[in-house]
């Protein structure tokens, strides 16, 4: 396996700043390699000027760098055109634009949208805000007994003829990888537009939007080793063109009079205001960095970390594991019987293990599971087996303290 | 119906904790012993009726739930609370705030800095960092609830 963990870790300055912590909150945000920090620093030092606006050479250089970043993302996703990459501030912002934009041109009163029980609030609340008040109905694909996406129930629900199917690529609360190929195929056969929430999936495996034939794919830079405040809404040209812009302002228009405005072409039409230029540069740097890594080795390593942790947890009988060990992108959600997840997480925090407790922005999922929440351990390429072992020891200490 | 006894019973439990557990906590150095005590403080409180686990008493925290009942003595102007939480550590931390605040008048409360004790005990270095566990929300509710009464 072409994988040198210590060389990898050395590329992440955060770890030398916090040598005593074990960071297992990677599903919340990833740390950034030096290459990303350098690219952003370099942009501000050498290239900073507003893009697209000014005729001067400096602005043209900044614009070239910014558009090169868009090309990098387009190639990464294998999008047909660079204008199919819309910069957003993150997955959440992308969903708000998408749902708002679909209302009217695609969705009307009486139409249905199909999501799953495992969705993040970013793929639930925008539907509540922008679609439900106008008569759009949300249907929900249930969980199987193993807390997986229920393909059989999905097939049944498709008979209700949803106009849009919007599903997470990987569940952020459980780590389970959804059967996205089947989801896209079946949904398209039923005549729906398909949206995938790639916030957790994009860092797990190579995504080829053309091969997958997905209509929209969204992700956040900060969960892909990139900076915060930047994200991507990918869409097929024909569908992006339908979207009504959520934000109006500079750059997104062709002409404006006091009474009306006409909109610019893609991608600018959906990118009002001065964009996050340094963020785009940083995200492109993260992608270029990732393309130099061995993604398969990353997958194997994360799976090995997961299995080591999972097996360790199975030795502690009072733990209730909500995640399964297979088809899992590196997340273990668990509870200690009869104890609140916040207590377990606080005792881990005392031992400098960074995990997340609660409902992980997926409250409906926990209502479906009928538990208060969970403690979530999420693993990344840069975590070590030693960290897993120390976490298991800390977990045992916490469990003992709570059992007293 | 809120049973009025809950406030007197809570007050005496809090006094007890102040007299017995607090000195213990102040002596302990290692975090495990401190947390062991912190996590048992809740057991010293009188039973909180599950009927009071109502949304009107719920303090919007993030990870855990906390319910807070308040009563002000019309004669002495003293404030009293009764409370419950579904998480043990945050419950213990709130008890450590309440042992200092329960029975104070509005005027006295305005000057109270109960978070300093948590800091001294090295249980919560910075109360503003406790947004996620609901501690700050409870403290704000205690202070705001009092203000609206004066
Ligand atoms: C599956 C999923 N969708 C959406 C989001 C929202 O991403 P962001 O907060 O970067 O907008 C997240 C992040 O937690 C996520 O895990």
> Which residues in chain A are contacts of B87 at CB distance < 8 A?
340, 342-343
Q: Among A260, A291, A322, which residue terminates a domain? A: A291
From the list A139, A174, A172, the residue with the least C-alpha distance to A154 is A139
Q: Which of A174-188, A191-205, B96-110, B123-137 has the lowest mean pLDDT?
A: B123-137
Pocket test for ligand 1, best of A92, A127, A201, A364 (most atoms within 8 A of CB): A92
Write the pLDDT tens digit of every residue in A334-360. 999 999 999 999 999 999 999 999 888
In this structure, are A319 and A344 located in the same domain? yes
B62 touches chain A (CB under 8 A): yes
In this structure, are A97 and A246 located in the same domain? yes
Q: Determine the atom of ligand 1 nearest the C-alpha atom of A360.
A: 14
In this structure, are A354 and A337 located in the same domain? yes
Here the tokens at position A37 are 């920090």
- Structural domain spans, chain B: 5-149
Ramachandran quadrant class, B17 (left: phi over 0; alpha: psi -120 to 50; beta: rest)? alpha
pLDDT at B150 over 50: no
Confirm if A100 and A246 have CB atoms less than 8 A apart: yes
Backbone dihedral angles phi then psi of residue A273, each to the nearest 5 degrees? 85, 170
Residue of B36, B63, B64 with shortest CB distance to A404: B36
pLDDT at A268 over 90: yes
Size of the A and B interface in Cβ pairs below 8 Å: 40
Strand partners, A195: A166, A216
In this structure, are A96 and A22 located in the same domain? no
CATH number at A337 reads 3.90.1150.10
Which residues of B are the active-site residues?
62
Confirm if A199 and A172 have CB atoms less than 8 A apart: yes
Model confidence at B56, pLDDT cuts 50, 70, 90, reads: confident
> Which residues in chain B are contacts of A373 at CB distance < 8 A?
63
Apex B139 CA angle, B136 and B143, nearest 5: 135
- What sign does the dihedral B44-B50-B55-B56 (CA atoms) show? negative
In this structure, are A202 and A139 located in the same domain? yes
Contacts 24+ apart (CB under 8 A), A370-374: A371/A320, A371/A322, A371/A335, A372/A335, A372/A340, A372/A341, A372/B86, A373/A335, A373/A340, A373/A341, A373/A342, A373/B63, A374/A173, A374/A322, A374/A333, A374/A334, A374/A335, A374/A341
Query: What integer pLDDT is reported at residue A324 of this predicted model?
Result: 97
CATH number at A127 reads 3.40.640.10
Beta strand pairing status for A22-23 and A353-354? parallel
Domain that holds residue A348: 5-31+294-403
Interchain contact, B32 vs A342, CB within 8 Å: no
Q: Which residues 345-374 of A are in CB contact (within 8 Å) with B? A: 345-347, 350, 357-358, 372-373
How many distinct structural domains can be found in chain A? 2
pLDDT at B133 over 80: no
* Alpha carbons B136 and A92: distance in angstroms, whole number: 27
In this structure, are A152 and A232 located in the same domain? yes
Reported ipTM: 0.89
Domain with residues B5-149, CATH architecture: Alpha-Beta Complex (3.90)
In this structure, are A287 and A322 located in the same domain? no
3-class SS at B133? coil
In this structure, are A74 and A185 located in the same domain? yes
* Alpha carbons A125 and A131: distance in angstroms, whole number: 10
Q: Which residues 79-108 of B are in CB contact (within 8 Å) with A? A: 86-90
Query: What integer pLDDT is reported at residue A165 of this predicted model?
Result: 98
pLDDT at B148 over 60: no
A90 touches chain B (CB under 8 A): no
In this structure, are A309 and A232 located in the same domain? no
B64 touches chain A (CB under 8 A): yes
Residue in chain A closest to B92 (alpha carbons) equals A343
Query: What integer pLDDT is reported at residue A250 of this predicted model?
Result: 84
* Alpha carbons A349 and A137: distance in angstroms, whole number: 41
Entry field: residues in chain B: 150
Q: Among A291, A318, A336, which residue terminates a domain? A: A291
3-class SS at B79? strand
Write the pLDDT tens digit of every residue in A117-141. 999 999 999 999 999 999 999 999 9
pLDDT at A84 over 90: yes
Confirm if A309 and A392 have CB atoms less than 8 A apart: yes
Pocket test for ligand 1, best of A199, A218, A380 (most atoms within 8 A of CB): A199
Test mutation, B30, B34, B35, chain A, max A CBs within 10 A: B35
> Which residues in chain A are contacts of B35 at CB distance < 8 A?
347, 350, 401
Pocket test for ligand 1, best of A121, A172, A228 (most atoms within 8 A of CB): A172
Which residues of A are the active-site residues?
361
Model confidence at B131, pLDDT cuts 50, 70, 90, reads: low
In this structure, are A116 and A246 located in the same domain? yes
Q: Among A263, A291, A319, which residue terminates a domain? A: A291
What percent of chain A stands above pLDDT 70? 100
Beta strand pairing status for A331-336 and B58-59? unpaired
Query: What integer pLDDT is reported at residue B128 of this predicted model?
Result: 62
Beta strand pairing status for B79-85 and B66-72? antiparallel
Residue of A340, A401, A404 with shortest CB distance to B87: A340
pLDDT at B149 over 50: no
Q: Determine the atom of ligand 1 nearest the C-alpha atom of A228.
A: 10
């Amino acid at each position: 396996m072409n994988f040198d963990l210590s060389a990898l870790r050395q590329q992440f300055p955060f770890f030398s700043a916090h040598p005593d912590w074990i960071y297992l909150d990677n599903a919340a945000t990833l740390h950034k390699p030096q290459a990303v920090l350098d690219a952003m620093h370099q942009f501000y030092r050498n290239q900073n000027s507003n893009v697209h606006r000014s005729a001067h050479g400096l602005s043209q250089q900044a614009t070239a760098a910014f558009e090169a970043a868009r090309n990098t993302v387009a190639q990464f996703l294998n999008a047909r055109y660079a204008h199919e990459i819309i910069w957003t501030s993150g997955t959440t912002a992308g969903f708000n634009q998408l749902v708002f934009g679909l209302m009217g041109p695609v969705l009307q009163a009486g139409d249905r949208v199909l999501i799953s029980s495992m969705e993040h609030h970013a793929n639930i609340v925008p539907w509540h805000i922008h679609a439900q008040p106008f008569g759009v109905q949300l249907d929900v694909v249930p969980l199987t007994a193993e807390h997986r996406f229920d393909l059989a129930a999905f097939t049944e629900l498709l008979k209700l003829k949803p106009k849009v199917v919007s599903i997470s690529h990987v569940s952020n609360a459980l780590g389970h990888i959804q059967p996205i190929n089947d989801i896209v195929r079946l949904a398209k056969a039923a005549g729906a537009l398909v949206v995938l929430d790639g916030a957790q999936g994009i860092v797990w495996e190579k995504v080829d939007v053309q091969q997958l034939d997905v209509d929209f794919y969204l992700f956040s830079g900060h969960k892909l080793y990139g900076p915060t405040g930047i994200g991507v809404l990918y869409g097929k040209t024909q569908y992006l063109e339908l979207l009504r812009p959520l934000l109006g302002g500079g750059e997104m228009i062709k002409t404006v009079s006091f009474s009306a405005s006409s909109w610019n072409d893609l991608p600018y039409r959906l990118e009002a205001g001065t964009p996050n230029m340094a963020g785009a540069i940083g995200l492109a740097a993260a992608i270029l960095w990732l393309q130099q890594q061995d993604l398969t080795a990353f997958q194997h390593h994360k799976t090995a970390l997961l299995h080591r942790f999972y097996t360790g947890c199975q030795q502690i009988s009072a733990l209730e594991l909500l995640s399964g060990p297979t088809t899992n992108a590196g997340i273990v959600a668990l509870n200690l019987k009869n104890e609140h997840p916040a207590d377990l997480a606080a005792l881990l925090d005392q031992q400098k293990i960074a995990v997340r407790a609660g409902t992980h922005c997926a409250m409906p999922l926990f209502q479906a599971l009928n538990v208060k929440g969970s403690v979530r351990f999420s693993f990344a390429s840069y975590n070590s087996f030693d960290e897993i072992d120390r976490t298991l020891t800390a977990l045992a200490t916490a469990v003992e303290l709570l059992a007293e | 119906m809120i049973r009025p006894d809950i406030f007197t019973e809570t007050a005496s439990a809090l006094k007890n904790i102040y007299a017995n557990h607090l000195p213990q906590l102040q002596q302990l150095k290692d975090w495990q012993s401190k947390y062991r005590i912190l996590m048992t403080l809740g057991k010293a409180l009188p039973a909180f009726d599950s009927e009071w686990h109502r949304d009107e008493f719920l303090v919007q925290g993030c990870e855990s739930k906390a319910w807070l009942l308040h009563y002000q003595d019309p004669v002495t102007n003293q404030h009293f609370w009764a409370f419950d939480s579904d998480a043990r550590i945050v419950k213990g931390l709130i008890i450590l705030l309440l042992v200092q605040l329960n029975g104070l008048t509005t005027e006295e409360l305005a000057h109270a800095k109960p978070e300093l004790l948590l800091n001294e005990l090295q249980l919560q270095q910075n109360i503003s960092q406790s947004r996620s566990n609901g501690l700050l929300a409870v403290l704000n509710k205690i202070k705001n609830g009092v203000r609206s009464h004066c």
